[in-house]
Structure 1
Amino acid sequence: MKSGNFWQADPPLLRFSSFPFQLETIPVALYLISIPEVLTRLFPEEGSWDTLKTKKALFLSEEHFPKGFSEKEKARFHGFAVAKRQMEWLCGRMAVKELVRTFLGDTRTGAGIAVENTEKGVPFLPDFPEYALSISHGGDLAVAGMVLEKGGRLGLDLEPDRKRDTEALRRMAFSEEEWAFLSGKPEREILRHWTLKEAGLKLVGQGFHLPLKKLEILPGGMRVHGKDVAGVSCWTADIEGGHLLSLLYGKVENR
């Protein structure tokens, strides 16, 4: 495995106002949504986001639902059992629809911009299946990313920067070779490596169907079941307010 330009040594700090955002080096666009802001707008009487996380499901009336959601999507929202999951899902889908409007020039409102999922949970755009899509949420934020060229693949992950049990992560997620690279590094960088692994699982379209230690993120690139995955780029950033965002993009040759 060659090091090349895969590993990003100095992640940038991005402000929330930087979004929508398009990477300069690879044709990927990102759209970030603040979950507390959406909550305040849609449910002004429900209290704070931290309080809402412990509540049961909310009801959102037809007239107050954000534009661009189909009846099927509204039913999906109301099908979640807890308010936290409802808001994370809703804000993720809002980010996707804003991406399409902003970067693909699709001005449809109503239920025109559909988002579906494969059997393994990978999101895609039925009207634009050639553009790879990925969604994540963590802490106070939800994010969607889209490759702005045909035939690419994308996986992204967003995590709040909070204290984690790094020893538990080591046992659960990291191979011996990964841990040899990570051992002794600050907890924040171990968490960043975890976000890259989650992004990798999404990129190969397996989610957690693939054992975590079978997908390795190493300084020279990504490896699945011991085989190098060619053509993958790595990008990671810090988001103001204490979040880590990582993505992997490429035209994957070895699956």
Structure 2
Amino acid sequence: MQRMTLLFREQGIQFCLVHIPAMLKALLPQIVGPSYQTRPGCRFRPDQFTQPVLSPAELNGLNQLFALKKQVERLAGRWAVKNLVMQETGLSPDAIEIHNDASGAPCLAPSFDYAISITHSGDYALAALCGKADALGVDMEAISPLDIPALLHAGFSNKEQSTYAGADLETILKIWTIKEALLKYRRTGLKTSAKKIEWLDERLYENHNPIDDVFVKSYQRDNIIFSVAFPFL
């Protein structure tokens, strides 16, 4: 059986990678099966979990989602964050509350002085946590076949399209996660066009101007690529 969580540290930032199918087997056995991607949302009860996981407010928020896939991804992302905070504080998962801020980004309750960011792709959720940063942005992509020309057209500037024409899948996914990580760091999401964010010569640009106040780092672990954006620590 695949390991449910993997905790690791890079650049002073803590990460927790959650394997979603393994999490479901451990936390919701016989409640949510492998076909969750195509099913409508469920009404979850606390007694269905093998251990206390969500606060009442978090459970209510989970039950407001209409697709089971979205519910599972939210649960997995919060489980990843809670594992990181548990490691720091020793608190139980249901005592660690995660809200969404005005931009819709997940954030810890004010009593927890940590910046967090969450991402999902395929069978995985990934959370990043740092106590020294005011904001973080993390994005992950599972390495799987995709239409590279379509992604280049949709999310890369003309200069990037020329630079990365013929690049391999891993390179394209890395650059895409860098763009997404920065947009999450800025709390704008895709309200800002990804084409306005460029990665050229190992440097970030926005509207063709260098970005000097944000550091980005990319990693590959097995079949996932992820990038994190954070202020200089």
Corresponding residue number in structure 2 for 1:20: 7
Give the direction of change, closer, same or farther, for the CA distance of 1:110–1:96 in structure 2 (3 Å limit): closer
Which runs of structure 2 are paired with 1:3-42 in the superposition (5 Å)? 19-23=6-10, 26-42=11-27
Kept in 1, the 8 Å contact 2:39–2:67? The answer is yes
Deviation at 1:16, TM superposition (A): 6.3
Q: Report Cα offsets for 1:101-145 as digits up to 9, x if no partner.
A: 11xx32222642121222212222223565321100111111100
Deviation at 1:202, TM superposition (A): 0.6
Deviation at 1:47, TM superposition (A): 6.7
Q: May I ask how many residue pairs the two structures share in their alignment?
A: 231
Q: 1:246 aligns with which of 223, 227, 230?
A: 227
CA–CA distance in structure 1, aligned partners of residues 81 and 112 of structure 2: 13
Unaligned stretches of 5+ residues in structure 1? 1-14
Please report the TM-score for the alignment, with normalisation by the length of structure 2: 0.88
Kept in 1, the 8 Å contact 2:133–2:231? The answer is no
Which runs of structure 2 are paired with 1:177-192 in the superposition (5 Å)? 177-192=159-174
Matched, 1:146 2:120: no
Q: Report Cα offsets for 1:155-176 as digits up to 9, x if no partner.
A: 1111111111111111110012
Kept in 2, the 8 Å contact 1:95–1:142? The answer is yes
Deviation at 1:19, TM superposition (A): 2.8
CA–CA distance in structure 2, aligned partners of residues 139 and 31 of structure 1: 16
- Mean alpha-carbon deviation: is it higher for 180-189 or for 158-167? 180-189
SS in 1 for 2:38: coil
Which runs of structure 2 are paired with 1:1-255 in the superposition (5 Å)? 19-23=6-10, 26-45=11-30, 48-49=33-34, 51-65=35-49, 66-102=51-87, 105-109=88-92, 111-127=94-110, 130-151=113-134, 153-240=135-222, 242-251=223-232
CA–CA distance in structure 2, aligned partners of residues 77 and 47 of structure 1: 14
SS in 1 for 2:229: strand
Unaligned stretches of 5+ residues in structure 2? none
SS in 1 for 2:89: coil
Please report the TM-score for the alignment, with normalisation by the length of structure 1: 0.81
Q: Report Cα offsets for 1:174-203 as digits up to 9, x if no partner.
A: 012222321121122112211111111111
Q: In structure 2, give the amino acid aligned to 1:112.
A: A
Percent of residue pairs identical = 27
Kept in 2, the 8 Å contact 1:235–1:246? The answer is yes
Kept in 1, the 8 Å contact 2:8–2:16? The answer is yes
Q: In structure 2, give the amino acid aligned to 1:195.
A: T
Q: Report Cα offsets for 1:37-80 as digits up to 9, x if no partner.
A: 1212344335742x221111233322233424211100111111
Q: Following superposition, which runs of at least 4 residues in structure 1 exceed 6 angstroms of deviation?
A: 15-18
CA RMSD across the alignment: 2.4
Q: In structure 2, give the amino acid aligned to 1:233.
A: F
Q: In structure 2, give the amino acid aligned to 1:144.
A: A
Give the direction of change, closer, same or farther, for the CA distance of 1:43–1:68 in structure 2 (3 Å limit): closer
Answer 1 or 2: higher relative contact order, Cα 8 Å, separation at least 6: 1
- Mean alpha-carbon deviation: is it higher for 205-214 or for 33-42? 33-42
SS in 2 for 1:19: strand
